[in-house]
Structures are given as C-alpha cells and as structure tokens.
Structure 1
Amino acid sequence: MDDDKQLAPAKRSRLKHEAGSRAARRSVIGFLTWLAGWLDRIDPGTHRRIKGLRLVTAYGIAAMLGALPEIGHGLGGGASLSVMAGGFALWASVSEGRSTRAESSRDLLLLCAAAALGAAVFILLRPVLTGVGQAGSELSLATGAFLVGYLKLFGILGAGIGSQIFIGQLLAYGAGLTFADLGMVGVAAAIATLAAVVPRVLSGPAERPPVAAATASIGGRAGLSPEFVAGLQAAISTLVIVALNDMIGLAESAWAITACAYVVTSSPTGTIERVRRRIMGTAVGVPLGLLCLPIAVDAPLLIWAAAAVAMIIYAMALPDRYDIACGAYAFTLVVTLAVTGEHSIWLLAARAWETLLGGLLGLAAAMLLAPLQTARRGRPPDGR
C-alpha cells in the first residue's frame, strides 16, 4: 500500500507530461496547418515559393564558394569574397523575372556583371570623394540611387541592372573595398553568376513570374521622363542623408539611403504608399529580429534557418505585399547581423529609424519635384 502511494505521484507526473506533449503536438500541427493555408493564399501556384528557395540556394552556393580558401587565396580583399558573391547572387535572383531558362540565365549574367560594375564604380570614385567631408565616399551611392529609378525606363532588365549597380556600390561601401580589391570583385561576379544560374536552370518551368497589371502612372514635363524624375528624387534624398551623416553621424546611413532609393516611384501617390508599407514592415520585422538575439549565439543554425524562411516569404510577398516583404527582409538583416557577431541592440534597432528617415526624405523629394510630373495612364507599376 505504501508502495502504491509512492508510485501515484510519479504516475500523475508522467500522465501530465504526456498530456502536455500531446497538447504541444496539436499546437505545432495547428500552426503548420495555418501556415500552409496562408502560403496557399499568398502563393496559390507555389511559383513564388520556388523562386524564394532558388534565391536562398543561390546565396548559399555563392557564399560557400566564396569562403573556400582555394578560391580566395591570393586575392586582395579575399575576406570579403563570400559576402560580395553571396550578395551579387541573391539580389540578381531577386531582380530576375523571366519565364524561360535561356532568358533568365542571360539576365542573371548581366545582373551579376552590373553588381560588379557598381562595386568597381565605388572603388574608383572612393579616392576622389574621400576628402569631401567625413562621409565623402558615400556620395558615389547617389549615382546608384539615381539609376535605381531611371533605368526602370528600360523595362524589367533595366530596373534590375539599376538595382544591381546600387547593390554593388552598397556592398563595396560596407566592405570598405579599395583599388586592390578590383580583381576580387570580378571573381565574386563569376561565382555569383554560376551560383544564380544553376538553381534557375534546375527550377525550369516551375516558376511563373507575375505579370504587372497596367495602372495609373505619371508622365514627365519639360522633356523629363517619369523615371528620370524618380531617379532624381532618390539621388537628392541620398545627398541629404550623406550631408546629415557628415554633420551628426548616423548609425548606418546606408540603410537610410537604401530606403529612399527603393521607395521612390514615378508617382507621388505610389511613393507615399511604398513609404507607408516599408515603414510598417520594418517596424514589425526589426523587433521580431531583436527577440531572437538571445539564441543567436547558442543556436546559429536555427537562426540561419529562420533567415532562409524569411527570405522565401520575402520572395513570395514582394510582388503584392511590399509591407510583408520589407518586414521579412528587416528580420533577416537583424538576425544575420546578430549571428555573425553584431550584438549592439542600438545598431540593430537603427534599421527601424534609418528606414523611417530614408522613407520620409524620399517622400519629401517626391513632393518637392511633383510639379515636374503630370497624370498619365497605361504604364505598369514599379516592380521593386
């Protein structure tokens, strides 16, 4: 009898544990069911999910190849090869939007070359601009910001090339590249091309790029195209950010420049909407990323897996839900910075207010130059 009394608490504990395990399994199954339904609503044909997997794969292949000592040995700036190659491949895969393997492969080659060109332009301009104040080397980013808007004039490939030139400049600026690193930039472009083309060839007809519907847009006055005006707005916003960085110092001015470059469209109303969505998404993504900081050191593999899932969501949401896409990328940026050794909450949280600053400056530039534009219909909306 005494033995039964002693066993009773152990039995109750075991039964309680089993009940808790069943409840946890039901919760996980319920969450996975909800997630599958949500994915089907956003991406009913799974095409964007496949693209998301492709761009994550391209980044992983490029970063892995760039980290191999046999490839980086003897290259100036070899320590940055993995970052450069991964960035080139990732954003080339994001910008590419063709329906056939041949066209996609051609565009990926051109997009990776454009990123290398942007990095080379930054490297060549850096010695000239370094003496112009504390943030002088950032001035070259104004050219890339201009091209992000202006090259949309030449369609999807032009928009991608403009974006890639800017991305190349940003990566070179972040890595602090110099003239000795030009060879490394070329190798990074070659690695990125291989890493981006192979997954695209394998994905084949499973991808179906979205078709942009015609919508109200903006025409230019005084002989200026709307794309030229959009590029001018982004460039002016960039120059203001560079000046602010020189005067007061910003935590990560490149984040503010990126925000203003990508929120500006050929329409003031379109710019307002993109600013709103980018700020909303970033305001959600950054805190979610900060919540993951405690496990960034102890579980880096889990963090990288979460970042990969976030980038797949980014690819799925980008065409229709810019706010979700911005939130997913903000989360990815924060957690990947944390897992690679950046643990300053002040710096990581700066992503939010730098985005706010860049978005508001882009909006102010759009309002300032609005008299250069007039209503026109029938043009497709800005893509990215």
Structure 2
Amino acid sequence: MTSTLDPAALPEYPMARAPGCPFDPPPGLRATQEEGPLTRVRLWDGSTPWLVTRYADQRTLLADPRISADISKPGYPAQTQVTGERSKISFILMDDPEHARLRRMVTAPFTIKRIERMRPGVQKIVDELIDEMLAGPKPADLVEAFALPVPSLVICQLLGVPYSDHDLFQDNSKVIIRRTATPEERDAAMNNLVSYLDELVGAKLAEPAEDLLSGLAERVKAGELTRAEAAQTGVLLLIAGHETTANMIALGTLALLEHPAQLKLLRETEDPGLISSAVEELLRYLHITHNGRRRVALADIAIAGHVIRAGEGVIFPNDIGNRDPEVFAEPDRLDIERDARKHVAFGFGVHQCLGQPLARMELQVVSGTLYKRVPTLALATDLGEVAFKHDGSVYGVYELPVTW
C-alpha cells in the first residue's frame, strides 16, 4: 500500500492555522476528522505516516503496546532531523521495560498527595510575582513577569536546581523545542543541559538534599541508575516542568481575555470545583502540544477500516482529538462549566504525562488568583499583533503585553 502512495499529493503536516483563529486547530485537521478516522500526511522528510484525528481511535491506539514511542525505531515520524542517543530525552521516547524502569524512579514526587503539599508554596510564588508585576511599569509582558517564572521557580524547587541559573536552562530549552532549529543547534543545546544536570547530580552525590535530583543521585550510588541516565532524566523534567505550563498560563490568559464572559465567571467564583473545571476546559480547548504525539507501529494493527502496517509512523494530534464533536458538545466553544476531564491534553496510556498533577495544581493556583488580584487585567495590544509560537513543538505566545 505504501509503495503506491504519492507523497506530493498528500497534505503536509503540521498544518497551518487559519488567520485570526489562534486558539483553534488548523482547518485541515477539522476537514480530515470529518472525512474519515485515519488518513495519510506528508512530513518534512517526505515520509507518509498515518494521522489519527478521532478521539476514540487516539485513545485506543495510544493504549496499544504495539504502538511504540521509541524515536530510534525505523519509521518513527520525527518532527525534525534527530541525531545521537541524547535525542531520546530520557524515558519519554522509550518503550517498556526501559521506559517503566526509568519512569518508576521519579514517580513518587509527582503523586497527588505529594503535589498537594506543595500548593501553599506555589501560592506564595504566585502572589509574590503578582506583587512584583503590579509594582512595576505598565504595560508588562505577562510571559516574562509571570507565566515563565511561576513554573520555573516551582520545578527548580522540586528538582533542586538553582533558579539563578534560569537563563541557562530556559535559553537552551527554547532551542530544543524549536522546530526550525538545526540539528547542530539542537545537539549543542541538549549537550549544554545534559552537562549542566550532570554537574548538579555530581553535587548531589557529594551533598544530598531534600529534592528530586538528590533522590536520583541516591539511585546512582545504589547502582540502580547511571549518572548519565540521572542527568538525562533531570533534563526531561526540567524542560517539561517549565515550558508547557508557562505557555499554558500565557495562552490560557489570552483566551480568557478574548472570552470576557468566561473570564468574569472565573474571576468571581469562590468554588474550587469551578476553578478546577476551568483548568480542564482550557487544557481541552487549547493545545500546547500542537504537533501531535508521534509513534510507530511494531506490528500490523487493524483499526477503523484501515490496517497500519508494522514500521509505519502514526501521529495523534491531540488538538483535534479534544475538539471531537462525538465526545465534546460544541467543541469549538470555550465553556469553563463543562466537564472536560476526559481530554487528551496529557496523552493516554503508559506514556501519559507524569507531571500532570503538578501542572494541574499550578494552573489551579494561577486561575484562582491572578484574575481576582488583577480584576482589570487587559490585553495591551491588538490580538493580531500577538506573536504565536507556530514554529515550535510547544505552542504559546512569545510575549503577552498586558495592562490593568
């Protein structure tokens, strides 16, 4: 079947968003979802993986052990050219049993009970950053003043990374997730972060503390983990722990500013349940991981009238999965009162996001605090002037000028 495909005749992926519709999936994804459950697309390298657009099929396949997350497998639909073993970024791009072995070593700090104990500290961070922003000049860039520092400070405290080094890890993280970065630029940025985390692991081996990196260092001492594995795991958690949440805070705020009735509901509520509901709906409505989760089939899989052959790539665009009308009524409407908890923003199956309890808690604190403390928060420019991150693996805005 693949031999008869004409790649030039297939739609290119990722697809472009419609002008003036920064919160919605590309129109091409909507058309693909309406036309059928699976289709072929063309990637940057001419490969032709399957695109799975319907919610039920996404969940079915993401839970199937015959679908591999291993980026080194032939046929894996990489977002860009990748080189070297470090492109795996620890267990996120591995399969079991290695994935499970490494993931288990960092699961405990992300349990809901442990994360809830962090809530007062996160509240303090949020309040202090709002104080600083309100005391500063107007307009302010919400990304630099608030959205980026909140998760950066939190993940630094959890890992045991000095926040004073935030320029180093933020700058290199931006290169790694930028789709237009060259392989050389991406390799250099990854090497910088791995070397930095390796030094920190070494410091924790000598002087352990009460943090996640010290826990990894203890496993290195016990022979359960190599120092290189500990450093790569640190890189994964550091990047994932600040980039996604920072972009979600900024993009979610912009979406609420563009939907004033929904913002008013959130600003005026004292109900933790509605705050939690708003977070889940924003996670559904927006789509920070906007270039699809990438996998490759290890065996032939029959689904929805098609057969995905072993060695063929598969892409799951969660943005259109979260807009499936079979699952979410009026999916293109932002409604913070809907029950959106079954969204796939954090993925599904064994690779479902490890840090989702932390992300949810941070977003709940932000959503329950920022808009109440700054009730006149407003966009300080036209929506058309806001620069969106179309060129990265994580979607958001580069800057968000706001006033009050």
The question of a shared fold, defined as TM-score above 0.5 by the shorter chain, is answered with no
TM score, norm. by length of structure 2: 0.29
> Which structure: greater strand fraction?
2
Q: Tell which has more relative contact order, 1 or 2 (C-alpha 8 A, sep 6+).
A: 2
Structure label with greater radius of gyration: 1
